[in-house]
Chains A and B, each alone.
Chain A
Amino acid sequence: MVNEKRILEVLPAIVNGNDRLVWRGRHLATVMLLQVGQREYLFDIRQGGIERIRLGSFPMPAWDFALRAEENTWEQFWLAVPPPGFHDLFALVKSRRLRIEGNLYPFMSNLLYFKDLLASIRMGANGSKE
Chain B
Amino acid sequence: MKNSTDISFEPVVGRYLNLPLLGKPQRLYIEEAGSGIPLLCLHTAGADSRQYRALMNDPELLEQFRIIAFDLPWHGKSSPPAGWQNEPYKLTSKDYVSVILAVADALQLDKPLVMGCSIGGRIVLHLALEHPERFRGLIGLQSGAHVDPYYDLEWLHRPDVHGGEVCAGIVSGLVGPQSPVEHRWETLWHYMQGGPGVFKGDLYFYTVDGDMRDRVAQIDTSKCPLWLLTGEYDYSCTPQDTEFLGKSIQGADWQIMKGMGHFPMSEDPQRFLQYLKPVLAKARSM
Tell me, yes or no, whether A91 is within 8 Å of chain B by CB.
yes
Complex CA distance for A53 and B173, rounded to whole angstroms: 25
Interface pair A93/B151, CB less than 8 Å apart: yes
Q: Which of A54-62, A64-72, A106-114 contacts B (4 or more CB under 8 A)?
A: A106-114
Interface pair B162/A84, CB less than 8 Å apart: no
Interface pair B177/A109, CB less than 8 Å apart: no
Tell me, yes or no, whether B268 is within 8 Å of chain A by CB.
no
Tell me, yes or no, whether A52 is within 8 Å of chain B by CB.
no
CB neighbours of A112 from chain B (8 A) = 165, 168-169, 172
Interface pair B177/A81, CB less than 8 Å apart: yes
- Size bin of chain A's contact surface: 10 to 19
In chain A, positions 61-94 with a C-beta closer than 8 Å to chain B are 81-82, 84-85, 87-91, 93-94
- Size bin of chain B's contact surface: 20 to 34
Tell me, yes or no, whether A38 is within 8 Å of chain B by CB.
no
Complex CA distance for A111 and B162, rounded to whole angstroms: 10
CB neighbours of B218 from chain A (8 A) = none
**Contact flags B197-217 to A (C-beta < 8 A → 1, else 0):** 000000000000000000000
How far is the CB of A5 from the nearest CB of chain B, in Å? 24
Complex CA distance for A96 and B168, rounded to whole angstroms: 22
Complex CA distance for A87 and B161, rounded to whole angstroms: 25
CB neighbours of A104 from chain B (8 A) = 155
- Whether A91 touches B170, Cβ cut-off 8 Å, given contacts A108-B155, A109-B162, is no
Interface pair A88/B173, CB less than 8 Å apart: yes
How far is the CB of B173 from the nearest CB of chain A, in Å? 2
CB neighbours of B170 from chain A (8 A) = 90, 111
CB neighbours of B173 from chain A (8 A) = 87-91, 115
Interface pair A108/B161, CB less than 8 Å apart: yes
Complex CA distance for A72 and B81, rounded to whole angstroms: 50
Tell me, yes or no, whether B232 is within 8 Å of chain A by CB.
yes
Complex CA distance for A82 and B170, rounded to whole angstroms: 18
Interface pair B235/A85, CB less than 8 Å apart: yes
Contact of A90 among B150, B168, B177, B178 (CB under 8 A): B150
Tell me, yes or no, whether A95 is within 8 Å of chain B by CB.
yes
In chain A, positions 93-130 with a C-beta closer than 8 Å to chain B are 93-95, 104-105, 108-109, 111-112, 115
Interface pair A109/B150, CB less than 8 Å apart: no
In chain B, positions 127-169 with a C-beta closer than 8 Å to chain A are 150-151, 155, 160-162, 165-166, 168-169
| Other A-B pairs beyond A84-B235, A93-B151, 13, CB < 8 Å | A81-B177, A81-B178, A88-B235, A90-B151, A90-B173, A93-B150, A105-B160, A108-B161, A109-B160, A109-B162, A109-B166, A115-B169, A115-B172
Q: Considering the complex of A and B, which 10 residue pairs feature the smallest CB-CB distances, nearest first? A: A88-B173, A111-B169, A94-B150, A91-B235, A112-B169, A109-B161, A87-B177, A84-B233, A108-B155, A90-B173
